[in-house]
Amino acid sequence: MKTVEILETLAAGNDLSAEMATVAFSRLMDGEMSPVQAGSFLMGLRQKGETALEMATAVSACLERARLVTGLTGKRIDPVGTGGDGKNSFNCSTTTALTLAGMGYQVTKHGNRAVSSSCGSADIVDGMGLPMLQEPQELRAELAKRNFVFLFAPYFHPAFKHIMPVRQELGMRTMFNLLGPLLNPARPTHQLLGVARPEYMQLMADALALSGIERAAVVHGAGGYDELTPMGPAQVIMVEGGKTRATTIDPAACGIVPCKPEELVVTGKEQGLAVVKELLGGAGPAAMREMLILNVGVAVHLLEDGKELAQCMIMAREAVMAGVGGKVIHA
């Protein structure tokens, strides 16, 4: 199959077949497309609108070329957002991850340095003095020690060297802005996945369903955030057993105190890191603490089969107020 046939299919506004998608993403990831072809391919997908099948095929192609971390057992979760909400809020997903680890849950956090946010997950982990390991055996030992391990994306996805220059030159959203949260090399069994734009929620949920994940929630928070916020009901799509179900989560009904957007803002990496340290110690700004409790509670609800959301929120509040995340840093 010639690459031009694939590009013609996209140019006509048609979805790729499974065979076409497999061939296309294999060539893209192996550097067998020219920069012009790669750019045309990514723009064609965006213009047409990506499908769950195309997303799932891209995930498979990326993971086949990734340095996977194998040998992990038991439930493990990755709280993550697509980014791109432009809110400059504190790094709630990484703070949630460290709090969950302090509660005794296994957390395999996959991420990178800040792109659109004030302080990315790698910036937080690095600033806390936590290691960014590359070898699978070291990662397994680190997870056993802290219940938390951070997988720095560039270490585990060497094939991305073929794509990064094209993405940088395009300078606009492509499928790869959405793929990041789906490419964790430790293959978490559970995921709390925030999406900045509601129109991508079902696409991400369907891609997760095809991935075989045990249980996940795709969320879009009130105020246009890629995380749950205290500001109002969140749109949520639950993923379980290969099926999806749309619902809402009302923070007020969960005992979360509402706030204003400006109460969640940090102005740079230094403040972003300082706030996370405070929150992990059971302190920090009240609005950010409420947002953290909300996200931790929903994550616990995903992990704890049979526990009502209200009960999980109580567990989350106790854990956040006790500063359990701090012990992960000092383990």
Q: What's the rounded Cα separation, in Å, for the pair 150 and 168?
A: 25
Q: What does 214-228 look like in DSSP terms, one character per residue?
A: SEEEEEEBTTTBSS-
Q: Residue by residue, what is the 3-state secondary structure of 275-309? A: HHHHHHCCCCCHHHHHHHHHHHHHHHHHHCCCCCH
Domain map of the chain by residue range?
3-49, 76-156+185-329
For 76-156+185-329, the fitting CATH number among 3.40.1030.10, 3.30.70.270, 3.40.50.980, 3.40.190.10 is 3.40.1030.10
Going by C-beta distance under 8 Å and a sequence separation of 6 or more, which residues neighbour residue 317? 255, 293, 297
Please report how the helices 92-102 and 309-322 are oriented relative to each other, as an axis angle in degrees rounded to 10.
90
Provide the token pair at 320.
């956040």
- Cβ proximity of 280 and 170 under 8 Å: no
Contact indicator for 189, 96 with CB cutoff of 8 Å: no
Contact 227, 221 (CB under 8 A): yes
The predicted model scores a pTM of 0.94
C-alpha closest to that of 56 among 177, 192, 204? 204
265 secondary structure, DSSP code: B
Contact call for residues 121 and 111 (beta carbons, < 8 A): yes
Which of left, alpha, beta for 162 (phi over 0: left; psi -120 to 50: alpha)?
alpha
Query: What string of pLDDT tens digits covers the 331 residues of the chain?
Result: 999 999 999 999 999 999 999 999 999 999 999 999 999 999 999 999 999 999 999 999 999 999 999 999 999 999 999 888 888 899 999 999 999 999 999 999 998 875 545 678 999 999 999 999 998 889 999 999 999 999 999 999 999 988 889 988 988 888 988 998 999 999 999 999 999 999 999 999 999 999 999 999 999 999 999 999 999 999 999 999 999 999 999 999 999 999 999 999 998 889 999 999 999 999 999 999 999 999 999 999 999 998 999 999 999 999 999 999 999 998 7
**DSSP designation for 258:** P
